[in-house]
A and B are shown apart, each in its own frame.
Chain A
Amino acid sequence: EAGVTQFPSHSVIEKGQTVTLRCDPISGHDNLYWYRRVMGKEIKFLLHFVKESKQDESGMPNNRFLAERTGGTYSTLKVQPAELEDSGVYFCASTPRQGDSPLHFGNGTRLTVT
Chain B
Amino acid sequence: LAKTTQPISMDSYEGQEVNITCSHNNIATNDYITWYQQFPSQGPRFIIQGYKTKVKNEVASLFIPADRKSSTLSLPRVSLSDTAVYYCLVGVRGNYNTDKLIFGTGTRLQVFP
Alpha-carbon distance A31/B91, docked complex (angstroms) = 17
Contact yes or no, A99 B34, CB < 8 A: no
B113 contacts chain A at the CB level, 8 A cutoff: no
Residues 101-114 of chain A: 1 if any B CB is under 8 Å from the residue's CB, otherwise 0?
A: 01111111000000
Residues 45 to 83 of chain B near chain A (Cβ within 8 Å)? 45-46, 49
Of chain B, the residue at the smallest CB distance from A43 is B103
Q: What is the distance, in angstroms, from A101's C-beta to the closest C-beta of chain B?
A: 9
CB distance from A109 to the nearest CB of B (A): 10
B: interface residue count bin: 20 to 34
Q: Is B29 an interface residue (CB 8 A)?
A: no
In the complex, the answer to whether A99 meets B99 with C-beta atoms within 8 Å is yes
Nearest residue, chain A, Cβ from B43: A105
Contact check, A105 vs B44: say whether CB atoms are below 8 A apart: yes
B41 CB, nearest partner CB in chain A, Å: 7
Q: Which residue of A45, A59, A105 is within 8 Å of B45 (Cβ)? A: A105
| Size class of the contact patch on chain A | 20 to 34
Smallest CB separation, B101 vs chain A (Å): 7
User: Are B43 and A93 in contact, with the CB atoms below 8 A?
Assistant: yes
Cα distance, A104 to B97, chains bound together (Å): 16
Within 8 A of B (CB), among A74-114: 91-93, 95, 98-100, 102-108
Is B43 a contact of A107 with CB atoms below 8 Å?
A: yes
Q: Mark B81-113, 1 if CB is under 8 A from A, else 0.
A: 000000000011111111111111100000000
A99 to B100, CA, bound (A): 9
CA distance A104 to B44 in the complex (A): 8
Q: In the complex, which residues of chain A have a beta carbon less than 8 angstroms from the beta carbon of B45?
A: 105
For B95, the chain A residues whose CB sits under 8 A away are 98-99
Partner of B41, one of A93, A99, A107: A107
Q: Which residues of B contact A (CB under 8 A)?
A: 34, 36, 41-46, 49, 91-105
